[in-house]
Amino acid sequence: MSYDIAYSVKVNHRLKYARLSIGARGELVVLVPSSFDQTLIPDLVRQKKEWIAQTRKKVMADQQQSRGPSDVACELPSRLVLHSINEVWQVSYRAGRGSVVEAQVIDTNRLMISGDASKSDLVYRLLRMWLKQKASLELVPWLERLSVANGLNYSRAVIRHQKTRWGSYSGRGTVSLNMKLLFLPEHLVHHVLIHELCHTVHLNHSSSFWKLVARYDPAYMEHRVEMKRAGSYIPHFVDAG
Ligand SMILES: [Zn+2]
């Protein structure tokens, strides 16, 4: 899955053509004349992908030299392994001005945290926010696909961050999914989604409920056992603080 490069747009009346600029913190700014059709910007950015990557690399290398690597606390995660969707995200850290910490997707599967990385609680909170967003993008459509394919209808899906529950279903039609599911292997996520969707038919754990689960997840017994150890997939920072 590919992600668009993050950028901001600045209109400059004196410009004749659009141009790209990489700031001191690696941020991409697209400068355009006032007459410029801004719907063309995403294409422009995509075309210049390589230039952007190279220039950023150079800017960051310069920064690294002036800063030294020891500023970054070592307990910060350097990658996020999202087994569920087969994605590994590299996380880089860069010192910023003041105590402002921000997360930015800078390229396909690369996340940049800028700011004071010694404030690990802030960094953790930021990573959790990103994970929650990512879970909305990935898990909600996944649930929707399974719902449509199997005719198990719910009315609303929400992503939560809970310490112990992987998912739940309210009698009013809301499926809640834990963002931590992102870290679990695909078959276990499928197992949880099917479990919650089957609650749209049976609001209990009766034998009819398990019969329905077995129809969509024939190995559900083994999966339930596996779920007991699923916590080992979750990086420590996710539930820290
Ligand atoms: Zn249940």
The DSSP code sequence of 153-182 is: --SEEEEE--SS-SEEE-TTSEEEEEGGGG
- Within 13 Å and on the Cβ side, how many CA atoms surround 38? 11
239 CA from centroid of ligand 1 (Å): 23
57 CA from centroid of ligand 1 (Å): 48
Q: Residue 200 has which token pair?
A: 């749209």
Asked whether residue 233 carries a pLDDT value surpassing 70, the answer given is: yes
User: CA-CA distance, 184 to 143, in Å (whole number)?
Assistant: 15
94: in domain? no
Give whole-number Cα distances, 204 to 126, 168, 200, 213, in Å: 36, 11, 10, 12
109: in domain? no
Mean pLDDT of 166-193: 97
Give whole-number Cα distances, 208 to 110, 143, 150, 201, 215, in Å: 45, 21, 17, 10, 11
104 CA from centroid of ligand 1 (Å): 36
User: CA-CA distance, 138 to 165, in Å (whole number)?
Assistant: 19
217 CA from centroid of ligand 1 (Å): 14
- Whether residues 63 and 140 fall in one domain: no
User: CA-CA distance, 17 to 140, in Å (whole number)?
Assistant: 40
117: in domain? no
86 CA from centroid of ligand 1 (Å): 26
235 CA from centroid of ligand 1 (Å): 25
User: CA-CA distance, 192 to 181, in Å (whole number)?
Assistant: 9
167 CA from centroid of ligand 1 (Å): 8
In this structure, what DSSP letter does residue 33 have? Answer: -
162 CA from centroid of ligand 1 (Å): 16
User: CA-CA distance, 173 to 154, in Å (whole number)?
Assistant: 5
Please say whether the dihedral angle defined by the alpha carbons of residues 188, 189, 194 and 200, taken in this order, is positive or negative.
Answer: positive
Q: What percent of the chain lies above the pLDDT cut of 70?
A: 90
More confident residue, 2 or 180: 180
In this structure, what DSSP letter does residue 17 have? Answer: S
152 CA from centroid of ligand 1 (Å): 15
Mean pLDDT of 224-240: 93
Mean pLDDT of 152-168: 95
41: in domain? yes
79: in domain? no
186 CA from centroid of ligand 1 (Å): 19
197 CA from centroid of ligand 1 (Å): 9
Asked whether residue 139 carries a pLDDT value surpassing 90, the answer given is: yes
The pLDDT value given to residue 66: 53
Cβ-in-10-Å burial (0-12, 13-18, 19+) of 74 comes to exposed
Asked whether residue 74 carries a pLDDT value surpassing 60, the answer given is: no
Local confidence band at 71 (pLDDT 50, 70, 90 cut-offs): very low
- For residue 207, the domain's CATH number is 3.30.2010.10
131 CA from centroid of ligand 1 (Å): 24
Question: Where does a domain end: 67, 86, 101?
Answer: 67
48: in domain? yes
168: in domain? yes
The pLDDT value given to residue 196: 98
The pLDDT value given to residue 42: 82
Local confidence band at 97 (pLDDT 50, 70, 90 cut-offs): low
Q: State the residue range of the domain holding 34.
A: 1-67
49 CA from centroid of ligand 1 (Å): 46
Sheet holding 79-82, edge to edge: 79-82, 87-94, 110-114, 102-107
77 CA from centroid of ligand 1 (Å): 32
195 CA from centroid of ligand 1 (Å): 6
H-state helical runs in the chain: 41-47, 49-67, 120-150, 186-198, 207-216, 220-227
Asked whether residue 115 carries a pLDDT value surpassing 60, the answer given is: yes
Q: Which residues contact 99 (CB under 8 A, 6 or more apart)?
A: 115, 116, 119, 122
Choice among 66-70, 113-117, 142-146 with the minimum mean pLDDT: 66-70
Asked whether residue 46 carries a pLDDT value surpassing 80, the answer given is: yes
Number of domains in the chain: 2
Mean pLDDT of 66-90: 75
138 CA from centroid of ligand 1 (Å): 22
Asked whether residue 125 carries a pLDDT value surpassing 70, the answer given is: yes
